[in-house]
Structures are given as structure tokens and as C-alpha cells.
Amino acid sequence: MSIRKPSRRHILLAGTAGLAAGALPGIASAASAIEPDIDSTLQWNARPPRSPVSLLNKRPSKIIVHHTVSANTSDFSRAQAHLHAHWVQNLHMDKNGWIDGGYHFTVSRGGWITEGRHRSLSTLQGGTSFPLAAHTSGQNEQAIGISNEGAYHDGAQPPQAQWDVLVSLCAYVCQQYRIAPTQIYGHKDFGTTLCPGVLHDMLPRLRSEVAASMS
């Protein structure tokens, strides 16, 4: 089993480097944001979208956390993260009939981040627009969707590597889009679903750890 070691950027984000306070309470300036390692659709060899991805020329106002309800694998490798990214995209395109994967980003159980819907990474780096995705009914024009590999509705807990990188990714998204950590929600906040399972119970901790990494 290959367990991912945190990169220098993950360590800086979670450690003593800190992030300078910005104009809005709890939000650091974009110049201080530290980008976590994210494997682009090109890096994991995603299928092209069926039609052009629509961009929303505004900042999202919230983050919505999901789980993919895939197997809780003990394979924490980067290769497994890429296989899982393909599984998600195939499910969304072939079964759901969507133009592309529905999430903006997915965090694997080993702590690898993969870009989901095409153009999610480049727009996140720009910080002023984001792709219209398909992760939460009624919220897709307002929210970044971040999913987590695994099924967490039956009491299973996310591995520490996955949790740590979820915090890092949420902090970077908050930095880039000037989203307050209080605006991190779970899928079930906006519909009748069990998603994201136990991760929903952990949202207060997630908001707190994201805020702490930004202050």
C-alpha cells in the first residue's frame, strides 16, 4: 500500500507559514494562498467533455462537500486516485448522461486531488470564474463541489491523509474565491440524500481547521 507523503505545499498550508489576513473576516489575501498539488484532467487522461464546458464569470459563494460512494479501498496510491477519477467521470457521463464529471475536484483516500470537470483547475487558479458543474441540484451556479473517494454513510471514517488534503484544498478554494470557511456545507444541506455521510457531522471541524489554516 502506497501512502502519500504530504508535499511541501501541503505542509506550508497546514503548518507555521500561515496566511495573511485579507479584506474580509476569515479570508486571507489571494497573494498569500498556497496551491495544493492537484492532478489536472490532462494528467489523469480524462475523456474530453461531450460539449463545451460553460463558465460562470463570477466567484462561487460556497463549497459543498460530497462523497463518491465508491469502495473504501486500502490502495492509497496516485494510480488508484486516477482510476477512481475515471470511474467517477464514466459514471457521470455514461449513466447520468452529463457532459463531463459532475464535481469540480475529488480527494482520494490516499490524499491525492484530481480535477473533475474540465477547466476547474485553471479557473480556480484565476480566482474570478468557475465551470458550471453538476454536483448539487439548485446550487451548481453558486458552489464549488468537492467530493471524497469512499462511502461514509455507514460510520466509516476518512483516512487522515484524505482529511488533511481536504482541509488544504478547501482553504485554497476559500482563498482564491474569497469564500468564508463558514460557507462550507454538505450535499445533504440542499437535498434529500445521505451524502456526504459522516463527513457532514465533521463539517464544524472542517470549517474550524480551514479557518485556522487561513489565520
* Residue 114 scores a pLDDT above 60: yes
- Using one digit for the tens of pLDDT, what is the confidence trace for 46-69? 999 999 999 999 999 999 999 999
Give me the pLDDT at residue 30, please: 40
* Residue 29 scores a pLDDT above 50: no
Q: Is residue 110 part of a domain?
A: yes
Q: Is residue 15 part of a domain?
A: no
Q: Is residue 12 part of a domain?
A: no
CATH code for position 159: 3.40.80.10
Q: Is residue 10 part of a domain?
A: no
Q: Is residue 4 part of a domain?
A: no
Number of folded domains in the chain?
1
Q: 113-115 and 130-131 as β-strands: parallel, antiparallel, unpaired?
A: unpaired
Which among 74, 43, 37, 60 is positioned nearest to 176, based on CA atoms?
Answer: 60
Q: Is residue 132 part of a domain?
A: yes
Residues 6+ apart with CB under 8 A from 196: 65, 66, 67, 147, 148, 152, 186, 187, 188
* Residue 16 scores a pLDDT above 80: no
Give me the pLDDT at residue 215, please: 80
Q: Is residue 18 part of a domain?
A: no
Q: Is 171 helix (H, G, I), strand (E, B) or coil?
A: helix
What are the distances in angstroms from CA 125 to CA 57, 71, 148?
Answer: 14, 31, 21
> How far is 159 from 154, CA to CA, in rounded Å?
15
Domain hosting 75: range is 24-48+55-213
Q: Is residue 9 part of a domain?
A: no
